[in-house]
Amino acid sequence: MKYKRLIINTLTILSFLKAVSQEVIDSTQINNLEEVILTATRTERQLSSLPMPVTLISKKEILQSGTIRLNEILSEQTGIITVADESGFEGIQIQGIASDYILILIDGVPLVGRSAGNFDLSRLTVGNIKQIEVVKGPSSSLYGSEALGGVINIITEKPKSEELQGNASYRLGSFVQQDINLDIKQRFKKLRYGFFANRFSSEGYDLNPEAEGQTVNPFENYTVNGRVYYDFNDKLSLFTSTRFYDQVQDAGFTFNDVLFEGDSKEREWNAHARLDQKWNEKFTTAYEFYYTNYVANERLANPMTEEVLSDSDFDQKLLRPEIRGNYAFTNAGTLTAGLGFQYDALDRTFFDELVSFNSQYVYAQYDINPIERLNVIAGARFDNHSEYSNQFSPKLAMRYKLSDAFAIKGSVGYGFKAPDFRQLYFDFTNSAVGYTVLGYNVALDKLQELQEQGQILNVLVSEDDLNNPLEAESSVGYNLGLTFKEGKWNSELNFFRNDIKNLIDTRIIARKTNGQNIFSYVNFDEIYTTGFEINTGYKITDAINVSAGYQLLYAYDKNKQQDVEDGQVFARDPGTNQTVAVTQSDYFGLVNRSRHNANFKVFYDIAGVDAKGNRSTIANINLRLLYRSKYAQFDTNGNGLIDSYDTSFIDGFVTANVAASKTFYTDFTLQVGANNLLDYTDNNIPTLPGIQGYIKLNYQF
């Protein structure tokens, strides 16, 4: 019945658009300029010429899809999966690599604020985005720590016209979700400016009425972004940007059948300045300064007794100056090099004091075409960090053009992620249960304090085990692909493999006299992710575009895989209630990883003549189908891995998103749409509360 409903609703919207649209005429095929990518090489490169896997999401796709937050549009891309952590924040996986290892940038500079590992992508509105660039695979050769699994760069628009341009929009959706945008931009000869403001709010929703509180509580947030560009002359230009984000959300949590209430607040501020200098046709430099501050506070208390369950603060600052340059050799490629300094500080509840890191880094990359059909990019970066051993991160990528239609490309690179503040300095004791979690750098001193207080029953590790520095997590990633582009067809096939070692996880280091454990962190896991992705698109007519994507993923812990092979892992068969040895076919892999994910998209543009007599697209309808196969959320039988006997599996499911837009009087666009049109729900997936309809009115000026 759900699939019948999808077909009926789609046909109804399509019929509506045909009825209200003006005469449909054939439009002449236009060969648009190749999309330009900045993130993959830190220089402008055509997307189709890059030797590494990159996904580009254009402003047109964002607008037509009706998405309003970054997590929504990213979740519709092949090989990108959104996953919530224990805080409820949605991060993403790329090629099976967790959100902790994906670097998030805006206009090339990093964002901070990972209280539990994930970066909350819903913090970012897409209202003033020019394009989103996703580089898959290790990218530490250019970006350092946290780029172990890839990079996402959000690029804002640069004003071009001397006429005042912009748009204002209002969207109303299910659960009284409201999104309001104002975006203006203009150029005055040497001066350009852009101003953007967004308000986003919701009354929240409840997927489990039997439990106290709501699944998602009411919230409202504001984003304000101002940008100024000044061209001193044709060789010297300045870019400045400041961004402010503020959110307040009601909070509620049931503990021992008591509802604790309160609120959570988030505030973020970024300041970014860059001076670009063109010395001559071959040599350019950029001088960049960046500062960001993210603050989060949460308080939960019993409204009847005023008993406080949680009162936490998180205050992170990052400061980064950087200098980089590009030199184009005559018929001999381009050299990109840079150096910088980074200061990162965090003041957080459960830390004894404010803690900080500092690092110095230098990187270089050489991009050359040694022969006509071959492009080679070789690069490396060196990081000198105050809290862990130095890191050297090389990368090599090549692309060979087999013919006008076919090209083969491959890359191999090293990525790393430094131990974070939580893993080094955390000092937390659960007051209700009694267990303790200690950061690696404070564990030895805290153990001695607890021993002096008589709280330690026995210590399970030696002093030497806690004296050696915690190592940075690292990976080597391989990508090998084939691209095809001819006429109305374009396709890309990419095989990938990522071997990750020194993963940081918790271990028991001591037992307390109350019967509870003391945990700390240690390097021990080695995992790998491997598989392939395929994307293909076909332009059926000038008006109809169809695309599809599929990813096959295998993600395993090497040590667990060996234990299974050696017959050392057991589980209880729920059917027979007998203990059985877990076999290789029973071992499913890592948590939150689906073996298969796929998408299918249809975009239909209805062309006509607007009020000014110009040919243009006056209406659009699109349908996007997204499939994710089954995955497990956690180990339920206590054997330390995910196997076929666990009970936390979520079955595979399909979500369908549809949007339709119609332009009136040249400047007004009405959009109606619905996400999760098949009404799929699962109490274990709080981000899918059933069908979410919306209507949006946009005024373009």
pLDDT tens digits, 360-374: 999 999 999 999 999
Distance CA 531, CA 338 (A): 34
Q: What is the pLDDT of residue 3?
A: 38
Structure tokens at 60: 């047109």
Q: Is the Cα dihedral 502, 505, 510, 511 positive or negative?
A: negative
Distance CA 361, CA 324 (A): 12
Residues 6+ apart with CB under 8 A from 33: none
Q: What is the pLDDT of residue 299?
A: 84
- Can you tell me the mean pLDDT for 668-677? 96
First to last CA, the chain: 43
Element (H, E) at 65: helix 59-65
Distance of CA 187 to the CA centre of its chain: 32
What Å distances lie between residue 227 and 84, 152, 182, 240, CA to CA? 32, 21, 14, 6
**Does the model's pTM come out above 0.95?**
no
Percent of the chain with pLDDT over 70: 92
Per-residue pLDDT at 176 exceeds 50:
yes
Q: Beta strand pairing status for 406-417 and 427-429?
A: unpaired
Q: What is the DSSP string of 483-525?
A: EEEETTEEEEEEEEEEEEEEEEEEEEEEEETTS-EEEEEEEEE
For tokens 């300094």, the residue is: 341
Per-residue pLDDT at 653 exceeds 70:
yes
Distance CA 552, CA 352 (A): 45
- Can you tell me the mean pLDDT for 230-243? 96
User: Among the residues of 150-249, which ranges form H helices?
Assistant: none
Phi, psi of 63 (to 5 degrees): -65, -45
SS3 assignment, position 12: helix
Structure tokens at 293: 């501050």
Q: Are 292 and 269 in contact (CB under 8 A)?
A: yes
Per-residue pLDDT at 486 exceeds 80:
yes
pLDDT band at 86 (very low <50, low <70, confident <90, very high): low
pLDDT band at 613 (very low <50, low <70, confident <90, very high): low
Distance CA 589, CA 558 (A): 10
Comparison of pLDDT for 366 and 21, the residue scoring more: 366
- Least-confidence region, from 191-205, 246-260, 346-360, 487-501: 246-260
Distance CA 700, CA 182 (A): 10
Structure tokens at 82: 């959104």
User: Helix-strand-coil percent breakdown of the chain, rounded to 5?
Assistant: 10, 55, 30
Distance CA 683, CA 687 (A): 9
Q: What is the pLDDT of residue 302?
A: 78
Contacts 24+ apart (CB under 8 A), 445-448: 447/509, 447/510, 447/518
Other CB atoms within a 10 A radius of the CB of residue 579 amount to 9
- Can you tell me the mean pLDDT for 635-662? 93
Q: What is the 3-state secondary structure (H, E, C) of 636-657?
A: CCCCCCEECCCCCEECCEEEEE
- Least-confidence region, from 5-19, 67-81, 429-443, 493-507: 5-19
Q: How many contiguous H segments (helices) and E segments (strands) does the chain have?
A: 7, 40
Residue whose C-alpha is closest to residue 478's, from 138, 195, 185: 138
Per-residue pLDDT at 84 exceeds 80:
no
Q: What is the pLDDT of residue 611?
A: 58
Distance CA 584, CA 575 (A): 20
Average pLDDT along the chain: 89
Phi, psi of 380 (to 5 degrees): -160, 155
Q: What is the pLDDT of residue 430?
A: 77
Distance CA 69, CA 78 (A): 18
pLDDT tens for 557-588 read: 999 999 999 999 999 888 888 899 999 999 99
What is the CB-side half-sphere exposure of residue 593 using CA atoms within 13 A?
27
Q: Are 441 and 512 in contact (CB under 8 A)?
A: no
Distance CA 475, CA 146 (A): 11
pLDDT band at 525 (very low <50, low <70, confident <90, very high): confident
Comparison of pLDDT for 21 and 449, the residue scoring more: 449
Per-residue pLDDT at 651 exceeds 50:
yes
- Can you tell me the mean pLDDT for 605-622? 77
Q: What is the pLDDT of residue 337?
A: 97
Distance CA 145, CA 385 (A): 10
Residues pairing with 605 in the sheet: 620
Q: Are 24 and 606 in contact (CB under 8 A)?
A: yes
